Amino acid sequence: MSHSLPTPPIFEMVGLGALALLAALMISNPADGAELPPKLDDPDLVLVENNGGGIVEDFIALRNQWERDGTQVVIAGSCASACTLFTALPHVCVEPGAKLSFHAPFVSINENVRAYDNEYTAWFTKQYPKAIQKWIANRGGLTHEWLTLKGTELTRYVPSC
């Protein structure tokens, strides 16, 4: 059985225990007849596909669990926000068409107001591999604006599957 992360709204609504259970139980069903690579039949493999992120602490806990377990993580499609923290895993790779989108972490005060903290953003940035940290720094650091890494440039920082 292969595993797949739930879509972003689920990340925001459930705690880590339920999140880990969902990640362990969900089987990836590619949309529109897209085929998954054969290696996704591996029980120690997680497909992260078109994920918009969520609560940072949940993603870090899941990343730490997958690192302890030696889980292979395949990033396919868009991986944004807290999802990009998975790039620090030792067994991570990207499929063709994968795209990473980075921004500074924030807390939503209400629908219209987000709070950013420079100290937390610095800590968050250090969660990435050194090469990605440098890539982010060369673009002015993490802010409320999106930084996108894709294509050939992405495979300089994260291995292809």
Instruction: Decide if 93 is inside a domain.
Output: yes
**Strand 72-80 to strand 45-51: parallel, antiparallel, or no bridges (unpaired)?**
parallel
Instruction: Decide if 92 is inside a domain.
Output: yes
What is residue 123's predicted lDDT score, i.e. its pLDDT?
Answer: 93
Instruction: Decide if 86 is inside a domain.
Output: yes
**Whether the Cβ atoms of residue 53 and residue 26 lie closer than 8 Å to each other:** no
The domain in which residue 84 lies consists of 3-155
Q: Give per-residue pLDDT as tens, 52-106.
A: 999 999 999 999 999 999 999 999 999 999 999 999 999 999 999 999 999 999 9
The predicted model gives 37-54 an average pLDDT of 76
Q: Give per-residue pLDDT as tens, 50-61.
A: 999 999 999 999
Instruction: Decide if 49 is inside a domain.
Output: yes
Neighbours of 39 (CB within 10 A): 12
Helix (H, G, I), strand (E, B) or coil at 41: helix
Describe the crossing of helices 118-125 and 130-137 by its angle, rounded to 10 degrees: 140
Of residues 113 and 5, the one with the higher pLDDT is 113
Instruction: Decide if 160 is inside a domain.
Output: no
Instruction: Decide if 45 is inside a domain.
Output: yes
Distance CA 70, CA 51 (A): 21
pLDDT-based confidence at residue 108 (cuts at 50, 70, 90): confident
Instruction: Decide if 161 is inside a domain.
Output: no
**Whether the Cβ atoms of residue 157 and residue 131 lie closer than 8 Å to each other:** yes
At 67, which CATH number?
3.90.226
Instruction: Decide if 32 is inside a domain.
Output: yes
Please, what is the average pLDDT of the chain?
79
The pTM of the full predicted model, rounded to 2 decimals, is 0.71
The predicted model gives 145-152 an average pLDDT of 96
Number of domains in the chain: 1
